[in-house]
Amino acid sequence: MIVLRRIGRLWLVPVVIVVWELATRALGDDSFPPPSTIAGRMREMWLTGPPSRLWINDSAIANIPPSVVRLLGGWLAAALAGVTLGLLLGRSALLSRLFEPIVHFLRAIPPPMLLSFFLALFAIGPEMQVATIIFGVIWPILINSADGARTIDRQHLDTALVFGLSRGQRLWRVILPSATPKIFAGLRVSLSLALILMVISELVGSTEGIGYQLLDARRSYDRPGVWATIVILGVLGFLLNSAFLAVERRVLSWHRTAKQTT
Amino acid sequence: MLEIHNLTHTYGTGPGAHEALGGVDLKVAEGELVCIVGPSGCGKSTLLRSIAGLLRPTGGEILFQGDPVERTPDNLAVVFQDYSRSLFPWMSVADNVALPLRRKGMDGRQRRQAALDALEQVDLAGAGGKYPWELSGGMQQRASIARAIAYRPTLMLMDEPFGSVDAQTREDLEDLVLRVRAKHGMTILLITHDIDESVYVGDRVIVLSKAPAKVVSDLRVQLPGPRDQITTREHPGFVQLRAEVGRLVRGRQGQAASTG
């Protein structure tokens, strides 16, 4: 049953691909290569290696993992800093009054604008790219965490006080779990932002990565190559989001079901 | 063990201020089960929150075991009315019960054992591994009573604990409170708006006036024990006391009606 339902949900994918193939062939425009050409180019770009390595070639290994590592590294660092700062701002009215205006000012700066600043600071390389990702994606996490920590049920806090929970217990066992649904909402937005910023930072200055390959393909008028990198970015985004949802389902199972039953 | 002298509390200042407590005096002895009744909105919850150290009253004094209450005292547990917001939905029922026991210096195994014992006492032996929201309202309130029992408080405060369950469950829970009291000999202060309930479970019934609340009357309940939902409620003493408390709660309004 589950398998059938899965297939039922996925039937649109081949249909879209077939329509896309037919339409682009009929159009005959080099800017819009048919998906079969794109797939062939993807194979040439990343899958010409030996079968023992699952056909993955040196170019794929040199470009895709560094991008993913920078994306996830930046996102995780932003998550750690964002949740910590967010909980602080959410639980302290004083800190919140002092720092909230600064947070909203910094948040309003479009992250790509900061690329030149980070370029000057770190020169071309992973530091500048990770810094761009962290600075760009931290805000949804921070603001959601602060909101989650601020709107904790008063009776949950009263209960924690009455039963003499220590500060640490209040933070770990009450405040953090209570804020998790909002924290995860922020993390999810940030994950897709991190992908965007990863590409943008690589387009501006890098010597490897998916963004670099995109730039390279564009410079050499390799239109199927441009499309191939776009597709791989889409696949990467899809996989990251699916993995995130799987984790969220586990961590927030209490939240989903509690909301359904009450 | 609990002494309250001339307790006053006012919310806000200026013309919008609301005087909730207007000088409450109250003494509770070790092992007593005292019910506090009063018209709704009279400041019962303000009184309870002050005793629990959750609210700093604007005037007067509360002594718990001889010490003034400045923050939440040790050895005090609260059963809140709204059980769905008092148990933590992200923890299993057993974890909810065990969580406060860390400060009692118990290790993990002891905490778990104490939680399971307490759950058994409230007839929730099989529910430890469930989440609170998987239980019915009455079962959730049992779980929060189990949390209070496991904590072994000397004083248990109950804030309209059975206000949001059906009548049958309510009677079961009233008997549960009587059993817990008999078994552990803890002092219980139970706030309710239900006059029958106050007379049924209480050793003493304290009647509060409308806000600003003052103690209007302090009645000793003298009914033959053990209490029983059917026979106690038809006892002449019960009927008479219930009427008396009812008149006191309604205050002048009730008198006006009876004198025409």
Note the pLDDT of residue B252.
Answer: 53
What is d(CA B26, CA B29) in angstroms, rounded to the nearest whole number?
10
Query: Residue A225: which of A25, A44, A16 has the closest Cα?
Result: A44
pLDDT bin (cut points 50, 70, 90) of residue A113 is confident
Interchain contact A168–B (C-beta under 8 A): no
Report DSSP state, residue B260. Answer: -
Q: Which of A162, A177, A180 sits opposite B72 (nearest CB)?
A: A162
Residue A180 to residue B54, Cβ atoms within 8 A: no
* Domain A35-46+63-261 class, CATH top level: mainly alpha
What is d(CA A73, CA A198) in angstroms, rounded to the nearest whole number?
11
Residue A165 to residue B100, Cβ atoms within 8 A: yes
CATH number at B220 reads: 3.40.50.300
CA B176 to chain centre: 13
CB interface of A with B, residues 173-212, below 8 Å: 173-174, 177-178, 180
- Reply yes or no on whether the pLDDT at A186 is more than 50: yes
Q: Which of A152, A153, A159, A248 to mutate to test the interface with B (most CBs of B within 10 A)?
A: A159
Q: What is the mean pLDDT of residues B151-173?
A: 90
- Mean pLDDT of chain B, nearest integer: 89
Domain boundaries, chain A: 35-46+63-261
What is d(CA B107, CA B237) in angstroms, rounded to the nearest whole number?
49
Note the pLDDT of residue B165.
Answer: 84
Note the pLDDT of residue B15.
Answer: 85
What is d(CA B46, CA B56) in angstroms, rounded to the nearest whole number?
10
Q: Which of B76, B88, B134 sits opposite A156 (nearest CB)?
A: B88
Q: In terms of pLDDT, which residue wins out, A21 or B39?
A: A21
Note the pLDDT of residue B114.
Answer: 94
Q: Which of B133, B151, B152, B159 to mutate to test the interface with A (most CBs of A within 10 A)?
A: B133
A152: closest chain B residue by CA: B85
- Reply yes or no on whether the pLDDT at B186 is more than 60: yes
Residue B89 to residue A255, Cβ atoms within 8 A: yes
Q: What is the percent of chain A with per-residue pLDDT over 70, rounded to a whole number? A: 97
Q: What is the mean pLDDT of residues B198-208?
A: 92
Q: Strand B155-159 and strand B187-191: pairing?
A: parallel
pLDDT tens digit sequence for A121-165? 887 888 889 999 999 999 999 999 999 999 999 999 999 999 999
Residue B88 to residue A153, Cβ atoms within 8 A: no
From B37's Cα to the closest Cα of chain A, the distance in A is 22
Is residue B22 within 8 Å of B213, Cβ to Cβ? yes
Contacts across the A-B interface (CB distance below 8 Å)? 70
pLDDT bin (cut points 50, 70, 90) of residue A230 is very high
pLDDT bin (cut points 50, 70, 90) of residue A1 is low
pLDDT bin (cut points 50, 70, 90) of residue B257 is very low
Note the pLDDT of residue B41.
Answer: 79
Is residue B134 within 8 Å of B152, Cβ to Cβ? no
pLDDT tens digit sequence for A24-80? 999 988 889 999 999 999 999 998 888 888 888 888 889 999 999 999 999 999 999
Give the number of domains in chain B: 1
pLDDT tens digit sequence for B217-256? 898 988 887 888 888 888 888 888 988 888 888 875 544 4
pLDDT bin (cut points 50, 70, 90) of residue B86 is confident
Q: Is residue B197 part of a domain?
A: yes
pLDDT tens digit sequence for A79-95? 999 999 999 999 999 99
Tokens 């059917």 locate to: B230
Q: What is the mean pLDDT of residues B26-30?
A: 93
B49: closest chain A residue by CA: A158
Q: Is residue B156 part of a domain?
A: no
Q: Is residue B149 part of a domain?
A: no
pLDDT bin (cut points 50, 70, 90) of residue A259 is low
A181: closest chain B residue by CA: B90
Both structure tokens of A77: 């660092």
Note the pLDDT of residue B84.
Answer: 82
Q: Tell me the chain A residues in contact with residue B99 when contact means C-beta distances shorter than 8 Å.
A: 163, 165, 169, 173
Note the pLDDT of residue A118.
Answer: 87
Residue A164 to residue B72, Cβ atoms within 8 A: yes
Domain containing residue B234: 1-75+186-260
Residue A155 to residue B85, Cβ atoms within 8 A: yes
